[in-house]
Structure 1
Amino acid sequence: MTPTEIQIREQARDWFITLRDNPSRAQRAACDQWRQSNPVHDEAYRAVEAVWQATAAPGKRLAEKESDALAVYLTAIKQEKRHQRARRWLVSACACCALVLAGVLWLENPYWMQDVTASYVASKGERRDITLADGSRVLLDADSAFDVDVTPQGRRVHLLRGAAFFDVTPSQTPFVVATAAGDVRVLGTQFDVRMMDNAALVTLAKGSVAVTAGGSVTPILLKPGQQVWFSASGTHAPVSVNVADEMAWREGRYVFYRARLADVVREVERYRPGRILIPSSALANQTVTGSFLLVDSEAALASLQASVGFQMRKVTERLVILSP
């Protein structure tokens, strides 16, 4: 990059910062004149603006988290004198890099720290078949992770996020699946555990499981073909379900009946890069029924849009916002 281009990028950042800090009419006019005076100026300004929009603006939570630091940065920039340009460039570059990095992590893998410590991780769009040391098999759904500790005294899996199907090798050694919502204890069985916000859902295909949650000392026992919701506040009553539909994700299809739109969208999100946001709680809580192929996330979103009637805006290729 030539010195002239560096200066233009620096000027573009200065104008962008100025216009975000209650600019006067004269400052707006001067900025417009500067951008219109040379196509390179306008291109540089749009590049700075695009970085901001792609990182801070779409992510409300990210913006709230970074707002104090950004305010300090903008104030510092205003106070810099002309002869301190070198130092100002460094501060500006570091701040921009930090925002870009935070935005990339938020969009691409907000659970990267969790993934570093997990025993097994399935990335987005990937279903992973895992055999544990005791011979038990786990099919891990996309964008899911768990820790495992298998010893002669006990077999314990901590499902950190996502969903998994367990085919547990029969043994007198207890097998426990722990979640933030509660524990699932078995001896030998086939079952599915799916985490949903602050709750979890267990579906039993074969054998028996005991679900303990909410500080209760009395577990809820499931029979094959039953499903139960549980959370830190307790467990719901078990209900009978179509196991084939509930576990269709193992074959690449997601089937749902009167499910929250937010929960369904979360399953779509597991199979596509980036994030899908629903700022409206009313829209997020709408119920939907249907099914779709997990490998075609675009068709899944289009089907949901036709069913619910929401607006879908692609801010970037990796950020989609749904609104009423």
Structure 2
Amino acid sequence: MSGTLDPRVVHEAAEWFVQLQSPEAGGADHEACARWRASHADHEAAWQKALYIAQRFGQLPSSLGMPALGRSRRVARREVLKSLLLLAGAAPLGWGGYQAATAQGWLADLRTARGERRRFELADGSSLELNSASAVDLDFSAECRRLVLRQGEMLLHAVTEARPLVVRSADGCMRAQGGRFNVRQVGGVTRVAVLDGVLEVRPGGEADAALQVHAGQQLSFERGGARAITPLAAQVDAWTRGLLVADGMRLADFAAELQRYRAGFVSCADAVAELRLSGAFQLANTTPVLDSLAQVLPVRVVYRTRYWASIQPA
């Protein structure tokens, strides 16, 4: 893949993106787009950029796939394309960060795809479970056992031994001799939940002051500091059993959680974002979960394509 994408390729990706949002798009259109993406690495990179922009900016203009009343489809299509291409030019730094994070995931020692969960046995006898779209690097030496969480979430059951265990995320450093810890790095925040043992947390890095997090406690932290230590959330490791457990969760947060396990995007309209949801939901297939929302909340789920779902007021 070239270092800089040809503007013509970016424009083609935008064309495909808009075309597939149309309610008239059929299986042949999706297959043709798939062939275009597979024909060159730059095509796939441009397509991923279009998807990233849609995610980064929430929702694209409301006319996407839905021509404005009283206007021709051609005019509406031209407006949407213009908006998408302007966004593509407006987010080069964000896109670069996305590319770097994606490359780290691809090159990591241990990794999972979106929707995949895997368990690994480590050289010291410890076990590691990775959640959807997660990546970890390992560096075990005679003096120290080091793990770097590049992205996503992991549950580590570390055997106790003389060598210290050090876990790093983008937001800081965690240290222990052994124990059972859930570490999640999402949205610029790292959350650690201690199920067994004691974890020494240093937000920012190893030179910063340490916080002691004991079994039954959890802590969220960023590079700028840590929040208060709180009691362990119920079912914090439910994902290892293929479950998403919600206890009065905001619907917008629930949609964001589902998206971690689903190909494509799940958006939530502001009008229903504050609705609350409780229950245990199977993650193996998120479409039935989305479809069930209308049975318990005053919402409806609109599928623009099989990969783009929007939760709207009923």
Partner of 1:301: 290
Distance 1:57 1:237 in 2: 37
Partner of 1:235: 226
Letter in 1 for 2:246: F
Distance 1:238 1:227 in 2: 6
Partner of 1:316: 305
From the superposition, tell whether residues 64 and 190 of structure 1 become closer, same or farther in structure 2 (CA, over 3 Å).
closer
Q: Is the 8 A contact 1:57 1:63 kept in 2?
A: no
Letter in 2 for 1:187: Q
Q: State which drifts further: 289-298 or 267-276.
A: 267-276
Structure with higher Rg: it is 1
* Equivalent residue runs for 1:28-107 within 5 Å: 59=51, 61=53
From the superposition, tell whether residues 316 and 143 of structure 1 become closer, same or farther in structure 2 (CA, over 3 Å).
same
From the superposition, tell whether residues 222 and 307 of structure 1 become closer, same or farther in structure 2 (CA, over 3 Å).
farther
Letter in 2 for 1:116: W
Partner of 2:214: 223
* Equivalent residue runs for 1:135-284 within 5 Å: 135-214=125-204, 217-243=208-234, 245-278=235-268
The C-alpha deviation readout for 1:180-232, integer Å capped at 9, x for no partner, is 12222111100101123110211111111011114672222112111111112
Q: Is the 8 A contact 1:196 1:263 kept in 2?
A: no
SS at match of 1:162: strand
From the superposition, tell whether residues 214 and 306 of structure 1 become closer, same or farther in structure 2 (CA, over 3 Å).
farther
Distance 1:144 1:192 in 2: 13
Letter in 1 for 2:288: A
Q: Is the 8 A contact 1:130 1:138 kept in 2?
A: yes
Distance 2:246 2:194 in 1: 17
Unaligned runs of 5+ in 2: 1-14, 19-23, 38-46, 58-87, 89-94
The C-alpha deviation readout for 1:17-40, integer Å capped at 9, x for no partner, is 9xx9xxxxxxxxxxxxxxxxxxxx
Q: State which drifts further: 112-121 or 149-158.
A: 112-121
The C-alpha deviation readout for 1:57-111, integer Å capped at 9, x for no partner, is 984816999xxxxxxxxxxxxxxxxxxxxxxxxxxxxxxxxx9xxxxxx9xx986
Partner of 2:76: none
Coordinate RMSD, CA, aligned? 3.8
Distance 1:293 1:64 in 2: 27
SS at match of 1:210: strand
Distance 1:161 1:286 in 2: 29
Partner of 1:23: none
SS at match of 2:303: strand
Distance 1:281 1:197 in 2: 19
SS at match of 1:246: coil
Q: Is the 8 A contact 1:139 1:164 kept in 2?
A: yes
Unaligned runs of 5+ in 1: 1-16, 21-41, 66-98, 100-105
TM-score by length of 2: 0.63
TM-score by length of 1: 0.61
Distance 2:170 2:272 in 1: 26
Deviation at 1:142, TM superposition (A): 1.7
Letter in 1 for 2:285: D
Q: Is the 8 A contact 2:120 2:128 kept in 1?
A: yes
Deviation at 1:311, TM superposition (A): 4.5
From the superposition, tell whether residues 220 and 286 of structure 1 become closer, same or farther in structure 2 (CA, over 3 Å).
farther
From the superposition, tell whether residues 304 and 237 of structure 1 become closer, same or farther in structure 2 (CA, over 3 Å).
farther
Q: Is the 8 A contact 1:182 1:231 kept in 2?
A: yes
The C-alpha deviation readout for 1:126-165, integer Å capped at 9, x for no partner, is 2111112222210111221111111112211111111110
From the superposition, tell whether residues 286 and 144 of structure 1 become closer, same or farther in structure 2 (CA, over 3 Å).
farther
The structure with the largest helix share of the pair is 1
